[in-house]
Structure 1
């Protein structure tokens, strides 16, 4: 037998020793026969050998144990069996195996210490898939999960089988595959695997990141669980914030474009995009404050959500602009939705305990076959809303291809103005004459753009874009400099004229008007009394307090002020009285309306307006005098001044002195000269 075998009787004397035993014990087998066991091996006294042998001899039961024998400095495995004469012992040298196991156990204890130091629950899985060890965090997590009715795997269990009871089928399959790859791939360099999954925990959902790493030169795998619930929630909150408007909670521009793109990529998209722009919201915001304005925007968003159909998406584009993505919707249905949204605005909104009326202009852009660009549909809806707003408040406009061309033109204008096109601007001047004598009194400066490709453009083609892009103030600043220089030049030539220049409300809000006017007068040398600033009713009404303050400063050093287009805005007499104005320009639309009435009624209308201006100490100017009837009407009403195509059309600066010379040569009465020319035709 390869194993060492010997027998001893009840007196503990050797009765049999095989060759393997003699070799292992370091002596000849026959030298041990008949000898007393303790004489040969006195070191066995009091050891496990003596204890186990006595037990076998006493009860006849078999014993198997390992023992360290100091004289040999080795470990042995002994199996002892009782027989009729005593006992038989089989033993073998297991020193290398035992020491290897001890080293492994020490390494495992060290690894367990490392695992226990980890804050995250961690398990050590052997090559057979069973759990070799768990750390303290795993035990504590198991106790907490146990109270919720869950079960965490324990030492000795099959890891994947235990986890299969707690995970979804998809997560269990992903983890199984990941661990399989770890076991099959080489362990060096170290391989890792990670997987995130969710798990119900009470009434909440917890998120975990499983990270597995194979130990180098072993088939063991360390698996760590990190609770990433807060991180996932934070990421979810950040993702929500990135796709939603902070103020209203509605989807923002980025999210809306994403949703529009998804709809447009459908095989046959039936959808429409509604672009809703609140009318006059800036005035509400400025007058009531931004806090109230924000509350109104939230109310607008809520009301729109109430009005749309299931499946439609309401979002905020920014400022006072909203979008509605109407799914499964043709143009007529989109128009019906737009009218319903507008109708909902007839109910007032409430802010600070008071009702605030609001209206909206709506542009509608149906999805076009073959078009998959979300930005293009948004641009079309924007163009339709721009057209709706341009036609007045509370309007609805359906997109047409022509609007796209108009939008391109606005973009071209914005780019050209931004790149600097001041050298392409020219000024034409329309004479303003006295109605009592027909003498030339002054001129109104009318801006023109000498476009390189489109020729001479009127302000209607570009000023609104300039105002939107912030270029209007630089243009007006240039206009002030050019017109004051021209007026000073004419005055030096013996032609002193009152120069009228139109000013935008933007100059009030920028609060640079006083400085820009002073700079223009200083550089040109023109007397302040020769400059008349014209402002529309609407521009003054947007911010009357700021307008009053700046105009008072200008009037204090001689500059004159006029209200232009009177009769088209919504200013009040109180505002007119509060402003330091000296001239009121009656709009041509009011003159046209008066001319269409009976003679008595028309005279009464204009006479009342002129009487009002005289009561206020204000000079009146009639605009748009185009016929002899207009001229007679304004003269009979008592207007002081007039301008219009009947008297003279706008003309380049070089023609103004020539026209004035012709009038003087004809007697100085431009009105009479105009009537003669009309009669001659």
Structure 2
């Protein structure tokens, strides 16, 4: 640091860069900090004119401000971009007769940061305009700075409008909201603003409804703080259609899709509530009345399912018309209805059963014809200590079967003599809790590619090797397992057994994708994800070699919970298939919103298509297959039993096929031999099956 006269030592301790110019613009003083920023030594500058030393600053704002301060003696402060160094400086100029003193510092990083923030805000503004949802930008005072086009357009909609630019957002958002929602939103927004500077900005999400006298809308609020800023962006997405759809799906999950009546699950829940209430003061309690239409299959086959559906709706309507206040009627499925009656003695329940039966005395009109119907009716009245709705339904069902066996169109009250079926159900439930799980065996049915005939994998089908009754089919015990909850440990065992088996086959050079059926019970227990992961980890089977098969009905019981768990499994690489498509509850919108990879077309659709179209069923199935293919979902035709079925599904474009035409389910030790026989015969299982089926048998 030096000066031409060695004066002014009081500036030696100043941290800023400092230099002095005399009235003629010559350097008279330069401190060490100035030498560094000017990139010149003091002895190169002292006594020389600034214009000569720094020609790039000539006729710039810097020279202009120097001259102005020399002229009027007023201090000036400004930012200056020096081109040769490509840097910003903050400059302060003071009169220092006979010249000026210039204090300056490097503010390039600050200036560029501010410029970047401004650019980011401009970019953010353009992004807000591109967002389809109504979006606002809030300043640090929680006031609306601006809104995008969707927000401004929404101001005309009373269910959405929540404040104009300049208004307090938190005050405006309160209108039309439930107090709990308003408080949640206010708290979430405040937390975003109060987050310490320099921390990673958080986010806040909340779904809420907003009501006006005319309508109610549902919205998803998503808020986040802009990085390097005190501002917050809030987006309001209108999810009204989705919520209404979910409400409709929830209603449908609890009601029969055809008649609109409560379904089996709902009636059992209502029955459980009635049983929990116990007997009233007069000793009357709940009763279940099961009605099974007599010969309804014949009506469906002869008149068609369209007329059958009309009749079922009429039956439900007539039954509802004779109920007492507080009673409920539901559809168990197919052609069975059930009535829950409250505050009944045996005589009350019998009287109601006969009145319900009396609704069938008049024929049912449908599509211009008059159809006579009758029903077999079973009645079970709860005992004082009854608490199990399934047991009460089983008693009523047993009485109904007794009525049907007596010649149909009868009413039968439950009695202990009808408990043989119930005893078997109890035996099944007991043994499944004890030793029966060790008596379960698995048979495997091959799944074959239609294009090449190669064996793609197998479906695992559980059987019970009963010590007294022999090998039992799943329909003799799985329904009880489903009701009692024992289906969950059975499925855990099945997952371990089948994944271990598939891994062993793969180690032998026989990689077969393993398909395992999953019950709806597993969704409600919320252990499915854990059980599948444990089975895969213990067996070493790759996740993409496991397919979980679920029926439409099992998903419909709790679609949200099913979707959550299936999404986790699908992300892990596990495949998901919908089994028995066409036989259960069907909402394509809900079905195809799930993370499924395979759709298994039930045999009933093959039979129906074959009957309706006179053998040209491939065209009927093609629409289903085309839809699945558009969505990236593979199709499997189940229950292929004839060469005609095989031709039909091939023409429809199905990806894979299984059924008795190709192979019956077989024990595990027979699978490798069967696959190798197919390979030795050319590898096309479809061609082999078709050729074998076409060979006439000897007389």
> Scaled by the length of structure 1, what TM-score is found?
0.48
TM-score, normalised with respect to structure 2: 0.47
